[in-house]
Structure 1
Amino acid sequence: MNRSSLVIAALSLAAFAAQAQDADPSGQFAAGAAGQATRAAVQAELAAYKQAGVNPYSISYNPLKSFRSTRSRAEVQAEYIGSRDAVAAMTREDSGSAFLAARPSTTQDVRHLAGQPANAL
């Protein structure tokens, strides 16, 4: 039993050792990852980022802090109530096919038939 487990262990070690190679032996991906910016340019960009004080990964980040709406709450609610049936119909299982088929056409339907055009050369 010890002999067979020793043989299995040796074969397993040989099999795993055969897979140990460089992840990118030709170096084709290393050339594409090289940065074009200098160290000074990267440090200047970092300093400008810190100076701005905006960190989207911060817990206190609030992009809507200074946002002011131009419309009233009543206007927004009226628009939502007016369009919610259409939105619900467009997001149903048929993706709005029945809703669009039941609506009257808003443009004049122009039908083009195959054939020779009137001003053919």
Structure 2
Amino acid sequence: MNRKIALTLVLTSFVAGSAFAEGPIGQAEPFKGAMTRQQVQAELQQYKGSGIDLHADGYDHLRGFSSKRTRAEVTAEYIASRDVVSALNGEDSGSRYLARRELPRTFGPQLAALPGSSD
């Protein structure tokens, strides 16, 4: 009985150990970067020298942002689209709203034909 348990443990450890012996899946050839190491190092030094840290807590991402529309225009657009958004986020994911909606036709009827046939 002990031999069976020992053999089972040895076999399972062998199978588990061999599962981790492979390399990354799907990567047949080594990675080739577009830039050399010196170019990457130079770019890093330029970033560090600029004094701007985009990931810092104090960095203001919206400092240069200015809107072209007024608050009233945005509010009116939101109120106008509330029913559509509510329908699309409803229990049926908007299928009833989309089925009842009249779609504009921007093209004429299309008929199936064999490629290269002229009739």
Regarding TM over 0.5, the answer is yes
Q: Give the C-alpha shift of residue 65 in structure 1.
A: 2.0
Q: Which amino acid aligns with 1:32?
A: P
User: Could you tell me which residue of structure 2 aligns to residue 62 of structure 1?
Assistant: 60
Q: Give the C-alpha shift of residue 50 in structure 1.
A: 1.9
Change (3 A) 1:110 1:10: closer
- Where do 1:14-29 residues align within 5 Å? 16=13, 19=17, 22-24=21-23, 29=27
Select which of 101, 104, 107 maps to 1:107: 104
TM-score, with normalisation over the residues of structure 1? Answer: 0.59
Select which of 77, 92, 99 maps to 2:90: 92
Q: Give the C-alpha shift of residue 36 in structure 1.
A: 4.7
Runs of 4+ in 1 over 6 A off after TM superposition: 8-11
Question: Cα RMSD between the aligned structures?
Answer: 3.8
TM-score, with normalisation over the residues of structure 2? Answer: 0.60
| Identity across matched positions, percent | 37
Q: Which amino acid aligns with 1:40?
A: Q
Q: Secondary structure at the match of 1:46?
A: helix
Unaligned runs of 5+ in 1: none
Change (3 A) 1:31 1:100: closer
Q: How many aligned positions are there?
A: 109
Deviates more, 1:91-100 or 1:79-88: 91-100
Q: Which amino acid aligns with 2:47?
A: Y
Cα deviation code 1:1-37 (max 9, x no counterpart): xxx5xxx67985786477267543xxx8484335353
Larger radius of gyration between Structure 1 and Structure 2: 1
Deviates more, 1:76-85 or 1:47-56: 47-56
User: Could you tell me which residue of structure 1 aligns to residue 115 of structure 2?
Assistant: none
Cα deviation code 1:15-71 (max 9, x no counterpart): 6477267543xxx84843353532211111102222341423x22233212211111
CA distance in 1, matches of 2:42, 2:85: 47
